[in-house]
Structure formats: structure tokens, C-alpha cells
């Protein structure tokens, strides 16, 4: 059986989509072919790198990629991660299968460094749980 092709999309293609791609590649070895993209790509957040390393996953080499409709059409599923009211999720072509995981953007967290890291860990753990569920389908 071939791996399912999954694209994770969020507004900035930094924290959420990169963490999702990291978990999918790590946990879904051989089962998932993972990609991530953003509507307005930004650099990878160092907090995302740090909290993923805590799980033994290195995403420091991941790079922001701009969302591409043609690539999305080649996916088995596109998972949108936009969860804040001011974020815009992509409008996907009707033939593209889409799941929506509304997750807060941890990069928007305010507070001390430990409070911000706590938010990144919370979102990271939500993503890990959803990736595990996706693999078990």
C-alpha cells in the first residue's frame, strides 16, 4: 500500500504546519508522505524547533513553502490548521479533500518565555495526538 500524501497548511507555515510535518514524517514513516505550506510563509519559529526537539524530532532543516494549488491537487488530503479569527485558510479547489484542525497559532502567544513555550508545548501535543489518530485510520 502506498503512503497517503498529506499537506499541512497554515497562514504562516511556521510553527503548526512544520510541527505537523515533523510528526507525520517521524510517526508515519512509510505510511505518510508529508508536506507543509503556508499562505504567507514566515521563518520557522525557534520555539517550535525547541519543543519538537523535546520529542526527539528535529525540524530545524524545514523551510517555509508557499501554498501551491497544483501540489494540493496531488494530495490525498490537505489539512488546514488555521484557528485564530484573524487568520485566513486557503480556498481549496472543490476536488481537494480537506480536513480542518483549528489550532491556535502559538507564535501569537504573549507572556514570559516560559509561558510562550508552554503554549507551544500545548499546541505541539494537540498536533501529535491528531497525527497519531490520522495514522491509525
**Catalytic annotation on 10?**
yes
**Catalytic annotation on 120?**
no
Q: What are phi and psi of 54, to 5 degrees?
A: -60, -25
From 57, 75, 82, 131, the catalytic residue? 82
From 7, 10, 103, 117, the catalytic residue? 10
From 6, 78, 89, 107, the catalytic residue? 89
CA distance linking residue 65 with residue 42, whole number of Å = 9
**Catalytic annotation on 56?**
no
CA distance linking residue 66 with residue 130, whole number of Å = 23
Name, in order, each residue with C-beta under 8 angstroms of 53's C-beta and a sequence gap of 6 or more. none
To which H or E segment does residue 100 belong?
strand 98-100
| Active-site residue list | 10, 82, 89
Amino acid at each position: 500500500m502506498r503512503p497517503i500524501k498529506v499537506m499541512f497548511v497554515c497562514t504562516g507555515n511556521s510553527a503548526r504546519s512544520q510541527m505537523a510535518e515533523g510528526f507525520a514524517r517521524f510517526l508515519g514513516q512509510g505510511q505518510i508522505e508529508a508536506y507543509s505550506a503556508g499562505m504567507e510563509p514566515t521563518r520557522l519559529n525557534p520555539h517550535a524547533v525547541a519543543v519538537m526537539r523535546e520529542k526527539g524530532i528535529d525540524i530545524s532543516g524545514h523551510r517555509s513553502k508557499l501554498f501551491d494549488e497544483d501540489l494540493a491537487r496531488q494530495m490525498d488530503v490537505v489539512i488546514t490548521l488555521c484557528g485564530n479569527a484573524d487568520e485566513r485558510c486557503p480556498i481549496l479547489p472543490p476536488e481537494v479533500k480537506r480536513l480542518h484542525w483549528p489550532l491556535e497559532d502559538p507564535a501569537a502567544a504573549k507572556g514570559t518565555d516560559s509561558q510562550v513555550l508552554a503554549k507551544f508545548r500545548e499546541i505541539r501535543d494537540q498536533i501529535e495526538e491528531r497525527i497519531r489518530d490520522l495514522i491509525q485510520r
